[in-house]
Amino acid sequence: MAKVLLLNGPNLNLLGEREPDIYGLTRLQDIETSVRELLEGAGHACGSFQSNSEGLMIDWLQENRAADFLLINAGALTHTSIALRDALAALQLPFLEIHISNVYKRESFRHHSFLAALAIGSLVGLGIQGYDLAARFAIDFLKQRNAH
Ligand code: DQA
């Protein structure tokens, strides 16, 4: 059994009511439940956290450093946070970056990610389905890792 982390950053607590034309109507709690069910169904544990605070996100990552994989939607911190990038570099936790919206179709300040170069890959613009797809990838990744 492995442990997979799901971390959401600023304003993602408002999913379902925040700019629904961009982010849809599904609430974060439902996304977390869906990801958890997928992971638990594959025999893994899932820890999830959301914060509007960069520091609390970094603290949570450090506290959970023993995990095996991370799914992260850092929200706007993606485009601004060298501190979060450094935290991910320090932990050496394999991770996927998720964005509900296609950030490349939006304002140019959303086109750069401080996290992307450290990630295995990014799921961008797939709506909330990106979370489930990322969880499925994590399950496959962990299966392959355990086979070696
Ligand atoms: C987001 C994209 C970011 O640019 C934005 O700041 C968010 C959400 C997304 O999931 O599409 O808060 O990460």
Domains of the chain in sequence order = 3-46+53-147 (3.40.50.9100)
Per the CB < 8 A criterion, the answer to whether 23 and 31 are in contact is no
Render pLDDT for 27-64 as a digit per residue (tens, 0 to 9): 999 999 999 999 999 999 999 999 999 999 999 999 99
Q: Name the amino acid, one letter, at 8.
A: N
Alpha carbon of 50 to ligand 1 centroid (Å)? 13
User: Does the annotation count 79 as an active-site position?
Assistant: no
Please write the tens of the pLDDT for every residue from 63-117.
999 999 999 999 999 999 999 999 999 998 999 999 999 999 999 999 999 999 9
CB 51 within 8 A of CB 77: no
- Predicted TM-score (pTM) of the model is 0.97
Structure tokens at 69: 């994989």
Among this protein's residues, is 112 annotated catalytic?
no
